[in-house]
Amino acid sequence: MSRSLLALILAPVVLAGAALTAFAQAKAPANEQPVAAKDKAVIEASFTRADANGDGKLSKEEAAKLPAIASRFDELDKNKDGILSLDEFAAGFATAN
C-alpha cells in the first residue's frame, strides 16, 4: 500500500479522534454529575492550591481562599481541631459545588 493511500485512509481516523478528544474535554453542563475520578483530582488540586504552607491541612486562613468552604469551615471541621483534613475538605467541596 502506498504512503499517500495510507495517509488518505488514516487522515479521517486521526481527525475523528481529535474531534472526540476535544468534545470529551468540553465542560459538562452544570446539571450533570462529574466522573468520580475527575472529582477526586479536582478536589485534591483545589486542596493543594489552598494549602499555602504545604502541611497537608487547611487552616481557616488558608480556607479563606475558597469562600464556599470558608463559610462552612466550622461545620466541615468534624473533629473540631481547627483545621480541615483532605477528607473533611472533600466532604465540603462536594456539597459546595
What per-residue confidence (pLDDT) applies to 24?
A: 46
Tell me: the pLDDT tens digits for 29-46? Answer: 454 454 477 788 999 999
Task: State the pLDDT confidence band at 28, using cuts at 50, 70 and 90.
Answer: very low
The three-state secondary structure class of 49 is: helix
pTM of the model: 0.59
Q: Which CATH superfamily is domain 34-96 in?
A: EF-hand (1.10.238.10)
What residue segments make up the domains of the chain, in order of their start?
A: 34-96
Chain-centroid distance of CA 94 in Å reads: 11
Task: State the pLDDT confidence band at 15, using cuts at 50, 70 and 90.
Answer: very low
Task: State the pLDDT confidence band at 55, using cuts at 50, 70 and 90.
Answer: very high
